[in-house]
């Protein structure tokens, strides 16, 4: 029994790490493309392509887990990515934040969640 709990705990830590990694790797190309647009430096696009290959590897590992439900995990990833992307856009790129933007993001997150029910 203790071995089974220990194994489940390690599996949860691994899944959490892969989900966190997939979130970072999935949103990083957005910011790299933005940096390319601002600077015109091509290596930002090359790093973006590499990130997508890493993301593909992470998705294969995440969704190949027996208990991984693609509909639940993918929705969770999308909601986290939306929140992180908007936060970085407002904080780092000084994008304007309006009530309508937050309302639209909230409705988008709710709709993604409802589609998963």
Task: Decide if 73 contacts 63 (C-beta within 8 A).
Answer: yes
% the chain with pLDDT above 90: 22
Q: Which residues of 79-113 are buried (b: 16+ CB within 10 A; e: fewer)?
A: bbbbeebeeebeeeeeeeeeeeeeeebeeeeeeee
The residue that leads in pLDDT, 102 or 112, is: 102
Is the CA virtual torsion 54, 56, 60, 63 positive or negative? positive
pLDDT value, residue 6: 64
d(CA 9, CA 6): 5
Say if residue 47's pLDDT is above 90: yes
Average pLDDT, the chain: 83
Confidence of residue 42 (pLDDT cuts 50, 70, 90): very high
Confidence band of 33 (pLDDT split at 50, 70, 90) = very high
- The per-residue pLDDT for range 54-108, each reduced to its tens digit, is 999 988 988 888 777 777 777 778 888 888 888 888 888 888 888 888 898 888 8
Report pLDDT for 15: 80
pLDDT given for residue 5 in this prediction: 58
pLDDT on residue 11: 65
- The answer to whether 22 and 55 have CB atoms below 8 angstroms apart is yes
Residue 2 has a pLDDT of: 52
- Separation between Cα atoms, residue 4 and residue 71, nearest integer Å: 26
């Amino acid at each position: 029994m203790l071995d089974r709990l220990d194994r489940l705990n390690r599996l949860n830590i691994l899944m959490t790490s892969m989900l966190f990694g997939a979130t970072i790797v999935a949103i990083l190309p957005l910011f790299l493309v933005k940096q390319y647009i601002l600077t015109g430096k091509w290596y930002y696009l090359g790093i973006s392509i590499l990130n997508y290959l890493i993301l593909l590897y992470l998705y294969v590992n995440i969704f190949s887990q027996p208990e991984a439900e693609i509909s639940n995990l993918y929705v969770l990833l999308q909601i986290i990515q939306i929140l992180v992307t908007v936060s970085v856009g407002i904080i780092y790129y000084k994008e304007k934040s309006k009530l309508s933007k937050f309302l639209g993001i909230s409705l988008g997150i709710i709709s993604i969640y409802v589609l998963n029910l």
